[in-house]
């Protein structure tokens, strides 16, 4: 299956989303959403064959290890999941509550799991050769451990994100359509992760199906924050300038009339 059209579509969506969110830069509560918009498409690129043929070769030339670009891409995927949890938790409570739950649900698990992932990746490099798709490498024991840890952590982050979104959806009916889009994106990402797990752990070749869901998920994580920001930043009431001037003039005449009536009465 040609991946070129999929990546062109993801790139186009990412550029459009970043352009729509350009005015959100500097907003305190929008930093995590902008990070998600950037990191999700970056994840799709870094784990793609296009990155393996360019960055992957350069990393091997410098460090002597194949597929470091894929490791970096998986790290971006974990960053996307962590930022998504923060993005939705920031809609609840104060800073103390936000930091408490984020530390409990994300910081502590990631502090343990990320070093284990890196260790399993490095221990599996002894007999690894170059392939354009890291997920097609014949796994040894440590690479199997790596895939198991990665898919487990991603599934956990998606479950936490879905839980927070469902809580937010229950108490925020106004933004329910956007939250529904987030739930669809979470489900699409979960499908990509589970397909990757099946592809790497079984003889079933699901490479093409994985990329369809992975690119759809990357586009969804870029598109939905942009749609959300467009809804927040648009004017509450759209009025033509001439109509606004007419309203101001009529309001001014009414105020002058009231003042004259008050003086007459006095």
Question: pLDDT tens digits, residue range 231-246?
Answer: 876 554 444 556 546 6
DSSP class of residue 139 equals P
Which whole number is the average pLDDT over 134-145? Answer: 88
Residues 52 and 87 in one domain: yes
| Domain carrying residue 20 | 4-234
The stretches of 90-175 forming alpha helices (DSSP H) are 95-102, 108-123, 141-171
* CATH code assigned at 163: 1.20.1070
The share of the chain scoring above pLDDT 70, in percent, equals: 84
Residues 42 and 106 in one domain: yes
Asked whether the predicted pLDDT for residue 31 surpasses 70, the reply is: yes
**Whether the Cβ atoms of residue 133 and residue 49 lie closer than 8 Å to each other:** yes
Sequence-distant (6+) residues with CB within 8 A of 148 are: 197, 201
Say what the pLDDT of residue 237 is: 47
Residues 42 and 129 in one domain: yes
Sequence-distant (6+) residues with CB within 8 A of 147 are: 139, 196, 197, 200, 201
Residues 176 and 44 in one domain: yes
Question: Would you call 44 exposed, middle or buried from its count of C-beta atoms within 10 A (0-12, 13-18, 19+)?
Answer: buried
Q: Is the pTM of this model over 0.95?
A: no
Residues 195 and 250 in one domain: no
Residues 217 and 243 in one domain: no
Residues 262 and 196 in one domain: no
Q: Is the dihedral of CA 245, 251, 255, 261 positive or negative?
A: positive
Task: For residue 205, report the phi and psi dihedrals to the nearest 5 degrees.
Answer: -95, 100
Residues 177 and 249 in one domain: no
Residues 185 and 245 in one domain: no
CA–CA separation, 170 vs 227, rounded Å? Answer: 20
**Whether the Cβ atoms of residue 215 and residue 189 lie closer than 8 Å to each other:** no
The number of distinct structural domains making up the chain is 2
Which whole number is the average pLDDT over 46-56? Answer: 89
CA–CA separation, 66 vs 224, rounded Å? Answer: 34
- Reported confidence tier of residue 260, pLDDT bands at 50, 70, 90: very low
Residues 117 and 244 in one domain: no
Residues 52 and 86 in one domain: yes
Residues 243 and 229 in one domain: no
């Amino acid at each position: 299956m040609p991946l070129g059209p999929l990546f062109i579509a993801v790139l186009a969506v990412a550029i459009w989303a970043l352009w729509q969110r350009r005015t959100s830069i500097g907003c305190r509560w929008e930093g995590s959403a902008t990070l998600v918009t950037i990191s999700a498409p970056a994840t799709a690129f870094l784990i793609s064959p296009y990155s393996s043929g360019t960055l992957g070769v350069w990393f091997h030339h410098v460090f002597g290890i194949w597929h470091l670009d894929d490791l970096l891409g998986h790290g971006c995927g974990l960053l996307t999941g962590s930022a998504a949890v923060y993005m939705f938790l920031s809609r609840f409570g104060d800073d103390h509550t936000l930091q408490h739950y984020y530390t409990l649900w994300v910081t502590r698990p990631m502090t343990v799991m990320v070093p284990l992932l890196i260790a399993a990746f490095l221990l599996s490099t002894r007999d690894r050769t170059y392939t354009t798709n890291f997920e097609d490498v014949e796994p040894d024991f440590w690479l199997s451990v790596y895939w198991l840890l990665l898919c487990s952590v991603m599934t956990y982050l998606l479950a936490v994100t879905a839980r927070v979104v469902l809580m937010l959806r229950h108490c925020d009916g106004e933004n329910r359509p956007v939250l529904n889009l987030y739930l669809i994106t979470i489900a699409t990402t979960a499908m990509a992760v589970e397909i990757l797990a099946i592809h790497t752990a079984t003889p079933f070749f699901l490479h093409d199906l994985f990329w369809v869901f992975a690119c759809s998920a990357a586009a969804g994580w870029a598109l939905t924050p942009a749609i959300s920001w467009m809804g927040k930043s648009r004017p509450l009431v759209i009025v033509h300038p001439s109509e606004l001037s007419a309203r101001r003039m009529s309001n001014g005449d009414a105020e002058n009339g009231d003042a004259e009536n008050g003086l007459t009465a006095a």
